[in-house]
Amino acid sequence: MSAADSRIRARLRIARADFSLDVDLDLPGHGITALFGHSGSGKTTCLRAIAGLERAADGYVALGDEIWQDESRGLFVPPHRRALGVVFQEASLFAHLSVRRNLEFGQRRAPAEQQHFSLPEVAELLGIGHLLERGPGSLSGGERQRAAIARALLAGPRILLMDEPLAALDLRRKREILPYLERLHRELSIPVIYVSHAPDEVARLADHLVLLDAGRAIASGPLNSVLSRIDLPAAFADDAGVVLDTVIDGHEEDHLSRLRFPGGQIWVSQRPEPVGTPLRCRIHARNVSLALIPQHHTSILNCVSATVVDLAATSTPGQLLVRLDCAGEPLLARITERSAKRLEIRPGLALRAQIKSVALLD
Amino acid sequence: MTDAATAQDLAAVWLTLKLASVVTMLLLIIGTPIAWWLARTRSRLKGVVGAIVALPLVLPPTVIGFYLLITMGPHGPVGRLTEALGLGVLPFTFGGLVVASVFYSLPFVVQPIQNAFEAIGERPLEVASTLRAGPWDTFWSVAVPLARPGFLSGAILGFAHTVGEFGVVLMIGGNIPEKTRVVSVQIYDHVEALEYTQAHWLAGGMVLFSFAVLLTLYTLNPSQRART
If asked whether residues A143 and A187 sit together in one domain, one would say yes
Distance in angstroms (rounded) separating the CA atoms of residues A157 and A355: 42
Stated pTM of the model: 0.85
Best CA proximity match to A270, nearest among A284, A287, A254, A286: A254
Contact B130 A95 (CB under 8 A): no
Distance in angstroms (rounded) separating the CA atoms of residues A8 and A33: 10
Measure CA of the first residue to CA of the last residue in chain B; give whole Å. 60
Q: Which domain holds residue A88?
A: 3-229
Q: What are phi and psi of A199, to 5 degrees?
A: -55, -35
pLDDT > 90? residue B228: no
Chain A residues whose CB is inside 8 A of the B134 CB are: 78, 80
Distance in angstroms (rounded) separating the CA atoms of residues B20 and B164: 9
- The angle at the Cα of A146, spanning A43 to A201, to the nearest 5 degrees, equals 45
- The angle at the Cα of B216, spanning B215 to B220, to the nearest 5 degrees, equals 120
Residue A194 contacts residue A205 (beta carbons within 8 Å): yes
Distance in angstroms (rounded) separating the CA atoms of residues A224 and A206: 10
Chain B: which residues have CB within 8 Å of chain A? 123-124, 126-134, 137-138, 141-142, 145-146, 148, 226-228
Q: How does DSSP assign A241-271, residue by residue?
A: EEEEEEEEEEEETTTEEEEEETTEEEEEE--
Burial letters for B199-226: b for 16+ Cβ neighbours within 10 Å, e otherwise?
bebbbeebeebeeebeeebeeeeeeeee
If asked whether residues A180 and A75 sit together in one domain, one would say yes
Residues 6+ apart with CB under 8 A from B47: none
Chain B residues whose CB is inside 8 A of the A93 CB are: 228
- What pLDDT, on the 0 to 100 scale, is given for residue B226? 38
Residue A284 contacts residue A243 (beta carbons within 8 Å): no
- Considering only the beta carbons, identify the residue of B123, B131, B228 that sits closest to A137: B228
Distance in angstroms (rounded) separating the CA atoms of residues A107 and A121: 13
**A270 within a domain of the structure (yes/no):** yes
CATH of the domain at A309: 2.40.50.100
How much is the mean pLDDT over chain B?
A: 88
- What pLDDT, on the 0 to 100 scale, is given for residue B87? 80
If asked whether residues A176 and A259 sit together in one domain, one would say no
- What pLDDT, on the 0 to 100 scale, is given for residue B225? 44
Residues 6+ apart with CB under 8 A from A9: A25, A26, A27, A60, A61, A62
If asked whether residues A275 and A158 sit together in one domain, one would say no
Distance in angstroms (rounded) separating the CA atoms of residues A134 and B10: 48
If asked whether residues A283 and A206 sit together in one domain, one would say no
pLDDT > 80? residue B68: yes
**A58 within a domain of the structure (yes/no):** yes
Residue B19 contacts residue B98 (beta carbons within 8 Å): yes
Distance in angstroms (rounded) separating the CA atoms of residues A31 and A188: 8
Out of A181, A197, A229, pick the residue that ends a domain.
Answer: A229
**A235 within a domain of the structure (yes/no):** no
Residues 6+ apart with CB under 8 A from A169: A141, A142, A145, A177
- H or E segment to which residue B170 belongs: helix B167-172
If asked whether residues A64 and A205 sit together in one domain, one would say yes
Q: Is A113 on the interface with B (CB under 8 A)?
A: no
Q: What are phi and psi of A25, to 5 degrees?
A: -110, 140
CATH of the domain at A187: 3.40.50.300
- What pLDDT, on the 0 to 100 scale, is given for residue A3? 53
- The angle at the Cα of B143, spanning B33 to B109, to the nearest 5 degrees, equals 45
Asked whether the CA dihedral B95, B100, B106, B108 is positive or negative, the reply is: negative
If asked whether residues A11 and A88 sit together in one domain, one would say yes
Q: How many domains does chain A have?
A: 2
Residue A63 contacts residue A8 (beta carbons within 8 Å): yes
- What pLDDT, on the 0 to 100 scale, is given for residue A185? 83
Chain A residues whose CB is inside 8 A of the B227 CB are: 95, 137
If asked whether residues A223 and A257 sit together in one domain, one would say no
User: Tell me, what DSSP letter sits at residue A131?
Assistant: G
Out of A196, A229, A262, pick the residue that ends a domain.
Answer: A229
Tell me which long-range contacts A297-301 makes (C-beta under 8 A, separation of at least 24). Answer: A298/A354, A300/A354, A300/A355, A300/A356, A301/A256, A301/A266, A301/A267
If asked whether residues A282 and A167 sit together in one domain, one would say no
**A111 within a domain of the structure (yes/no):** yes
If asked whether residues A218 and A262 sit together in one domain, one would say no
**A26 within a domain of the structure (yes/no):** yes
**A337 within a domain of the structure (yes/no):** yes
> Could you give the domains of chain B?
2-225 (1.10.3720.10)
If asked whether residues A272 and A162 sit together in one domain, one would say no
**Percentage of chain B lying above the pLDDT 90 cut:** 45
B9-30 pLDDT per residue, tens: 888 888 899 999 999 999 999 9
Per-residue pLDDT of chain A (362 residues), as tens digits, is 455 578 999 999 998 888 899 999 999 999 999 999 988 899 999 999 999 999 998 999 999 999 999 999 999 999 999 999 999 998 799 999 999 999 999 999 999 888 888 999 999 989 999 999 999 999 998 899 999 999 999 999 999 999 999 888 888 888 888 888 888 888 888 899 999 988 888 888 899 999 999 899 999 999 988 988 888 876 677 778 899 889 999 999 999 999 999 888 999 999 988 999 888 888 999 999 999 988 888 888 899 999 999 999 888 889 999 999 999 889 999 999 999 999 999 999 999 999 998 887 65
Contact B126 A53 (CB under 8 A): yes
Out of A203, A229, A255, pick the residue that ends a domain.
Answer: A229
If asked whether residues A269 and A337 sit together in one domain, one would say yes
**A234 within a domain of the structure (yes/no):** no
Contact A106 B131 (CB under 8 A): yes
Chain B residues whose CB is inside 8 A of the A95 CB are: 146, 227-228
- Considering only the beta carbons, identify the residue of B133, B134, B146 that sits closest to A95: B146
